[in-house]
Amino acid sequence: MPEYLTIRSRKKGLMTTLDGAPAPARPGLAVRRSFVLLGSLQVILIFTLAAIAVPLPGIGRQFGLGRNELILLSAAYGLTFAGLLLFGGRLADRYGGRQTLIAGLLLFAAASVAAPLAPGYGTLLAARFAQGAGAALVAPAAMAVLRTLYPEPSAYRRVMAAWGGLSVLGATAGNLLAGVISALLSWRWALAVPPVVAAVALSLAPRMLPGDDGPKRKGALDVPGAVLATCGLVAASYGLVVTDAWSWDSARVLGPLTAGAVLLAVFAAVERRARDPLLPPGFLRDGRRAFGLAATALTAAGTSTVFVLFSLHLQDGRGWSALRASAAFLPFAAALLVSGRAAGRLVGRYGPGPVTGGGLTLAAAGLGLLALSGLDAGTPYAYGVLPGFVLLPAGAAASFASAAVLATERVPAGRTGLAGGVHNTAMEVGPTVVFAVLLAVGGDRASLAVAAGLFAVAAAAARLTGRR
C-alpha cells in the first residue's frame, strides 16, 4: 500500500490505510535522515547560486572578462534554474519525485564537476547553465518526496516550515564560505563544494528516499507550455539582469524584456486552452497560496539585495578585505539559524499567516535601520550595520518558513511537484525582478528604504490574510 494512503490513529498512534487495515510506518529515524538528505540538497542548490558572487572579480581577472561577460556568468545558473522549474515540477508529478530527483542530480553533479575545472570562460558559462537545469529538476522533486515522507497534514506543515528557511541558509552559506575559501585558496575551491555534496547525495538517494508509489499526473507533458514558460522567464530575467550595465531604454534591455513579456502572454493564452496545462490557471487563485508566493519572492529579494549592496559597501566603501567582509555576515547567519529553528514551532502554534506578518515586520525594521546608517562609512559596524544584520535575517527566516507553508499546503498529492516548482520559481525570479526595480529607484540608501516600505506593506497584507 502506498505510504500516502496511510493515516495515523490518534488513540493508538498506529499507522493504518484509508480502509482501516494496519500499515507499517517508516521508522522515525529513517524519515529524519531522508529529510536531512533532501534539506542538504536544497541548501547546496542555493549555495551554488550565491557562491559565484564573491569570487566573481577574481574569475574576471584570470579570464580577462569584461563587465557584460561577468554579468552573464553571474546570472547563468539562475536563468536556467528559474526558467525550467515549472517543467521540472511537472516531470516530478508525472514520473515520481525520487526518479526525477536522481536524474536532475546526475546533471547537476556532472556540471558541478566541470565548473571548478573549467579551462576558460566558455566552459565555465556552459557549466553554470547546466547546473541550473539540473537544479530545476532537483528542487521540485525534493518537495514531492517530502510529501511522501510526511503524508499527514500537520506533519507536512511542520516540515515545510523548516524547509522554508533552508534557501536563505544556503544563500548565506554561499556568500560566507565562498568568500573565505576564495580568500584562502582560490575561486576554484569555492566552486568545488557542490560536486562533493552532489556525489554523496547520489550515493545515498536510492537507498534513503522512498519509492515513487504515490499518485502521478498522467496525460501530455505540455511541451509547448514548457518551451514558452522557459523562454519567457529566461528572456525577461535576462533583460532585468542587464539593467545593471545598460539603461532601461536601451535595445539590450527592451529587447529581451519585450520578448519575455510576449512569450509569457502567449504562455498564459495557451494554458487556458490546454487540456492538461503546465500551470493550471486556477492554481494561483487561492489567496493564501498567492500571498505565500509573493512573500517568498519579496523576502528572497530583500536578503539578496542586502548581500549584494553590503558585500560591495564593506569592501569598496570601507576598504575591508573579502575575508573580513565575509566575517561581517556571521551575525547574519547566526540570527538566521536561531530564527529558523523557532519558526516551525511558531507556525504550529500561531499559524503561518501571523508568523509571516511578524517576520516581514522584523525584516522591514532591519532594512530601515540599514538604510538609515548602515551605508555610512564613518559609522561603526557595531551599531551602524550589526542591528540590521540581526533583525533582517531573524524576520526573513520566519517569513520564509511560514510563507512556504502558505504556498504549498492544500495542494493535492499529485500536484506537489508543481507546487514545488512554483514556490522555487518565486524564490528565484523575485530577487531578479525586485532588485532591478530597486536599483532603478536611485542610490543604495534609497533602494533599502523602498525595500523596507515594501516589507511593511506586505506585513500589513499578511495580517489581513490571517484574519480572512
pLDDT in tens, 74-108: 888 888 888 888 888 888 888 888 889 999 999 99
Average pLDDT over residues 128-141: 91
Contact 171, 50 (CB under 8 A): yes
Average pLDDT over residues 56-63: 82
Average pLDDT over residues 140-165: 81
pLDDT tens per residue, range 246-269 = 777 888 888 888 998 898 888 888
Name the burial class of residue 306, with classes exposed (0-12), middle (13-18) and buried (19+) by CB atoms within 10 angstroms of its CB: buried
d(CA 50, CA 22): 46
pLDDT tens per residue, range 345-394 = 888 788 888 888 889 999 999 999 998 887 887 788 888 889 999 999 99
Task: Judge whether residue 3 has pLDDT over 70.
Answer: no
pLDDT for 465: 61
Residues 6+ positions from 280 with CB-CB distance below 8 Å: 271
Contact 137, 101 (CB under 8 A): yes
The residue assigned the cell 562609512 is 377
pLDDT for 175: 73
Residue type present at position 54: V
Phi, psi of 15 (to 5 degrees): -90, 125
d(CA 196, CA 205): 14
C-alpha cell at 114: 566541470
Strand partners, 245: none
Torsion of CA 141, 401, 365, 426, to 10 degrees: 30
Q: Which CATH superfamily is domain 27-222+274-467 in?
A: MFS general substrate transporter like domains (1.20.1250.20)
In the structure, what pLDDT confidence band is assigned to residue 111 with cuts at 50, 70 and 90?
very high
Closest C-alpha to 332, from 169, 153, 123, 105: 169
pLDDT for 170: 80
Task: Judge whether residue 50 has pLDDT over 60.
Answer: yes
pLDDT for 123: 93
Residues 6+ positions from 408 with CB-CB distance below 8 Å: 143, 160, 289, 292, 416, 419, 420, 423
**Boundaries of every domain in the chain:** 27-222+274-467, 223-273
Closest C-alpha to 87, from 44, 132, 55: 132
